[in-house]
Amino acid sequence: MNIRENIEQVLSDLPQGVRLVAVSKFHPVEALKEAYDAGQRIFGENKVQEMGAKQEVLPKDIEWHFIGHLQTNKIKYIVPYVSLIHGIDSYKLLNEVNKAAEQNGRVIDCLLQLHIAQEETKFGFSFEECKQMLTDGKWKKLAHIRICGLMGMASNTENEEQIRREFRSLKSFFDEMVHTHFADKSAFCELSMGMSHDYRMAVTEGSTLVRVGSKIFGERTY
């Protein structure tokens, strides 16, 4: 498998303004180095320990995105270097990231994760829960986090219309939140949706960040 060619292929599908997050979880450092040498600079991991180990040995200009379900007791390990946390699914988690970021003298970019899929196994706010949290306004006092947008995962299904409908619902909600809560915040501009099997559809529905793993690195090895 030629990682360079795979990256070039995915990038050729992305319009200007859409960024590629290479999902490197469970893949060895050597594979990440190959992607790095091909020009890739954004990598997504979902295990705190694994991301930390890779971050220590790989070039320092890599932008590390945490894309997994983040446990509060693990936040302190990634806050010193993480560029973007994709999966904020509660105010409590947002508040804990803020505390750890303050201790590290950083402001951490975060995305709010919405539950748009039919599967119960996926995490995230419901649209109503997210609205309530934003309307409540306590998040505005958190000086060490910056909410930069939303993230969602569509159902794992062959039904393309369902996938598009779920992406569309997230884009519609994103637009609503821009107008109601982030009109004066230019940083709120990211919509992270789309993975290896559905990123092309996600892009047509408004994604700005696609999280692609197997299309670049091949199937994961456990």
Q: How many domains in the chain?
A: 1
120: CB partners within 8 A, 6+ apart: none
Give the pLDDT of residue 123. 82
Report the CATH number at residue 74.
3.20.20.10
Please check whether residue 222 lies inside any domain of the structure. Answer: no
Helix residue ranges, H only, the chain? 3-12, 29-37, 48-57, 75-78, 91-103, 127-136, 160-181, 199-204, 214-217
Give the pLDDT of residue 187. 96
Please check whether residue 188 lies inside any domain of the structure. Answer: yes
Give the pLDDT of residue 219. 79
Please check whether residue 42 lies inside any domain of the structure. Answer: yes
pLDDT, tens digit, for every residue of 5-14? Answer: 999 999 999 9
Please check whether residue 46 lies inside any domain of the structure. Answer: yes
Please check whether residue 147 lies inside any domain of the structure. Answer: yes
Residues of the chain under the 70 pLDDT cut: 1, 121-122, 220-222
Instruction: Supply the range of the domain harboring residue 17.
Output: 3-217
Please check whether residue 18 lies inside any domain of the structure. Answer: yes
Q: For residues 3 and 39, give the distance between their C-alpha atoms in angstroms, rounded to a whole number.
A: 11
